[in-house]
Amino acid sequence: MSVRFKILLILITVLSFCCFASAQTAKLNRFRSGCGFGINLPRFTSVEKFNETVGGVTSNGGMYTWTLDDGRVFRVLCMHVSSYGKPLSSGAKSRYLANSMSEFVKGIEESDKNYEVDQMPFESNGISGGEMRLSFADREVIVRSFMIGDRAILLIGAYAPGTRDLADVVEILNSFRRIAPIELNDAKIEEATPDELPQDPMLWKRTTDAADDNLKGKVQSVIEEFAEAGKSKQRQSEEYYDKNRNLVKSIDYLDGLPKSVSVWGVLDGARVRNRGEISFDPDQRTENPDSKTIYMVERAGSKSAKSDTRFSERFVYKYSVDGKLIEVAVYDNTGELSSRRTIVVAGNRVETTYFGSEGKKYAKGFEVLDRSGNVIEYWSEGEPKSESVHCEYKFDDRGNWIEKNEFQEKIVGRKPVRTPLGITYRTITYFPDSE
């Protein structure tokens, strides 16, 4: 018997009145999962992840469990299924579900043969599949099996007669729904977001994060979107600041989809962050359906015996005698160097050199700044200066740019000719001036 169905059998074999006293109390609401579903259950749940291959079919997913204060137990097993990296055919999907339910029933019979079973089809929220109702001496269990795209779903609800009736359980099961892409992004961000970090005073950083990013005023959030020339806008990043102008949370995007969530804080006087990585199944990526990423969320950072599990990365800053930032080193939570960059400022020109974990230089960039500290030209080492990128800006009333137009400029026939590259848009919010 496969691991996933052994786990599922725990619901049936150990659920009894003795378990109800320890059940958690939680208010029902609309839970959303990065697997792509929503259900009217508490936002808090336990999740177990798995990845297994049986008979050439790979099941990659997670099992979500809720134990309510009235003794009802719900589980959702959400599995992205594929065969050697390719989607299953409709016939193969049907066989997978049939085999899964057959294996499930065999497991029940091995543990408790005293039950009655009734099978029927079901349809709810545009989803249809098979339903099995199991009656035991001390509990009732409903199991639904169905496919949503490339995902196999087992949806389970259990209760003890006399505590709640069948309609209460069915109502929750019927609330299961497939969430829209915008909700999927939000659900993945929620699942990936690490716990908050302490915001103790920083002993080794002399400037604020907002100042490092040349942001002026009481900035609360900055959302960036980029439109490549001739294409539509895609979100690039989100940054959220506290009233001390330091980052507390940031979200990075790739191809318009969230890639990672970072929570920032201070531990032992040092700047640290925890990062949660996000990835998508091929059928969840609207921009790049050939991507071979998976949807499960993983926490960044090492988990070795000597790692500090409180954070993913630690930042060390060095300053010149006149207080200018000249170096930033990044260490993982084992204390090993991950990367380092040095900054040399000469007048309005900035030279930044990047080094890898072994200390080897892998890139160098050059920037020219205007009087307000905004980059008006930049290029990389090894590129001819004639191919540098120029920047022009539009500003808000606080002096922060909200639109950056990037282009290359060359002389053709003694006349300057611009080649547009793209426009970056920033939406900036501020704390009230009274705060």
| C-alpha dist (Å) from residue 230 to 226, 227, 409, 416, 422 | 11, 8, 18, 21, 8
Architecture of the 184-430 domain = Beta Barrel (2.40)
H or E segment at 265? strand 257-267
Q: Domain ranges in the chain?
A: 3-179, 184-430
Residue with tokens 């015996």: 305
- C-alpha dihedral (172, 187, 247, 328), degrees to nearest 10: 140
The number of angstroms, rounded, from the C-alpha of 120 to the middle of its chain's C-alpha atoms is: 37
Closest CA to 319 of 197, 202, 199, 200: 202
The tens place of each residue's pLDDT in the chain, 435 residues long, gives 455 555 555 555 444 433 443 334 344 467 888 888 999 998 876 788 888 888 888 888 888 999 888 888 899 999 899 998 889 999 999 988 888 888 777 777 777 778 888 999 999 999 999 999 988 888 888 999 999 989 999 999 988 876 667 888 999 999 999 988 888 999 999 888 999 999 877 777 888 999 999 999 999 999 999 999 999 999 999 999 999 999 999 999 998 999 999 999 999 889 999 999 998 877 776 544 333 333 333 344 444 558 899 999 999 999 988 888 999 999 999 999 999 999 999 999 999 999 999 999 999 999 999 999 999 999 999 888 778 999 999 999 999 999 999 999 887 878 888 999 999 999 999 999 887
Q: How far apart are CA 24 and CA 68, in angstroms?
A: 6
Q: What's the CATH fold of domain 3-179?
A: Protein Transport Mog1p; Chain A (3.40.1000)
- SS3 helix, strand, coil % of the chain, rounded to 5? 15, 50, 35
Q: What length is written for the chain?
A: 435
- Sorted by sequence, the CB contacts under 8 Å of residue 435 that are 6+ apart come out as 218, 243
Q: What is the pTM of this model?
A: 0.79
